[in-house]
């Protein structure tokens, strides 16, 4: 997960709000302009994300392949 972010954040972005979850994970939230992106990390290979803009909405559970999340991360920068 860390390497995904390091590769994608070549341009600086605003830091997310970071909130602990009841189950012991961490939730990262960005709410920028028309984009809402929330990433919940339960374990290194168990991640859920929710993304929404004015046109589309996506919610997925990820384990090893984080590629569905990458276009949304790119839109934050």
pLDDT digit string, tens, across residues 11-51: 667 788 999 999 999 999 999 888 999 999 998 888 999 99
pLDDT-derived band at 5 (thresholds 50, 70, 90) equals: low
Q: How many contiguous H segments (helices) and E segments (strands) does the chain have?
A: 2, 5
pTM: 0.75
Query: What digits encode the pLDDT tens for the residues 43-53?
Result: 888 899 999 99
Q: Which residue range forms the structural domain that includes residue 64?
A: 2-76
The closest alpha carbon to 1, from 26, 36, 33, 32, belongs to 26
Number of domains into which the chain is organized: 1
């Amino acid at each position: 997960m860390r390497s995904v972010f390091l590769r994608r954040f070549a341009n600086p972005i605003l830091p997310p709000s970071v909130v602990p979850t009841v189950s012991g994970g961490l939730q990262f939230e960005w709410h920028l302009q028309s984009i809402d992106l929330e990433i919940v990390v339960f374990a290194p290979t168990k991640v859920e994300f929710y993304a929404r803009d004015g046109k589309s909405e996506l919610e997925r559970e990820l384990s090893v392949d984080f590629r569905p999340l990458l276009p949304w991360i790119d839109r934050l920068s």
